[in-house]
Amino acid sequence: MSHRSEGSIIVNNRISADRTSEVGERTSAIDRKLLTYNKRQFTENVTGRFIAMACAGVLVVVVLSITYFIASKGLSTFLVNGVSLGEFLIGVKWDPEGEPAVYGVLPFILGSSLVTLLAALIAAPLGIGAAIFMTEMFPGFGKKVLKPVIELLVGIPSVVYGYVGLTLLVPFIREQFDVLGFSLLAGGLVLALMILPTITSVAMDAIEAVPQDLRNASLALGATRWQTIWNVVLHSALPGCLTAVVLGMARAFGEALAVQMVIGNTTRLPGGLLDPISTLTSAITLNMGNTIQGTPYNNALWSMALLLLLMSFVFIMVLRILGRRKMVTK
Read off the CATH number of the domain in which 212 is found.
1.10.3720.10
Same domain, residue pair 214 and 280: yes
Would you place residue 280 in the very low, low, confident or very high pLDDT band (cuts 50, 70, 90)?
Answer: very high
Same domain, residue pair 19 and 148: no
Q: What does the alpha-carbon distance between residue 234 and residue 25 come to, in Å, rounded to a whole number?
A: 60
pLDDT (tens digit per residue) in 163-190 = 999 999 999 999 999 888 899 999 999 9
Residue 28 within any structural domain of the chain: yes
Same domain, residue pair 18 and 107: no
Q: Are 303 and 71 in contact (CB under 8 A)?
A: no
Radius of gyration of the chain (CA): 32
pLDDT of residue 105: 93
Total of domains in the chain? 2
Would you place residue 8 in the very low, low, confident or very high pLDDT band (cuts 50, 70, 90)?
Answer: low
pLDDT of residue 294: 86
pLDDT of residue 154: 81
Residue 315 within any structural domain of the chain: yes
Residue 143 within any structural domain of the chain: yes
Q: Give me the domain span that covers residue 27.
A: 1-36
pLDDT (tens digit per residue) in 22-80 = 545 556 655 555 555 567 777 878 888 999 999 999 999 999 999 999 999 999 999 98
Kindly report the average pLDDT of the chain as a whole number: 85
Would you place residue 152 in the very low, low, confident or very high pLDDT band (cuts 50, 70, 90)?
Answer: confident
Would you place residue 255 in the very low, low, confident or very high pLDDT band (cuts 50, 70, 90)?
Answer: confident
Same domain, residue pair 7 and 139: no
Same domain, residue pair 158 and 10: no
Same domain, residue pair 28 and 97: no
DSSP alpha helices (H): ranges in the chain?
Answer: 3-35, 39-74, 76-79, 85-90, 106-132, 139-141, 147-154, 158-164, 170-177, 184-208, 212-220, 225-228, 234-236, 238-254, 257-260, 280-287, 296-329
Residue 79 within any structural domain of the chain: no
* Mean pLDDT value of segment 97-113: 90
Same domain, residue pair 25 and 127: no
pLDDT of residue 56: 92
Same domain, residue pair 197 and 111: yes
pLDDT (tens digit per residue) in 90-104 = 989 998 888 888 999
Q: Is the pLDDT of residue 7 over 50?
A: no
pLDDT of residue 10: 47
Q: Is the pLDDT of residue 234 over 60?
A: yes
Same domain, residue pair 10 and 137: no
Residue 46 within any structural domain of the chain: no
Residue 142 within any structural domain of the chain: yes
* Mean pLDDT value of segment 318-324: 80
Same domain, residue pair 110 and 226: yes
Same domain, residue pair 17 and 165: no
Q: What angle do CA 204, 207, 208 make, to 5 degrees?
A: 85
Same domain, residue pair 13 and 93: no
Range scoring the smallest mean pLDDT among 4-13, 35-44, 96-105, 216-225: 4-13
Residue 277 phi, psi (nearest 5): -140, 180
- What percent of the chain lies above the pLDDT cut of 70? 87
* Mean pLDDT value of segment 203-230: 90
Residue 162 within any structural domain of the chain: yes
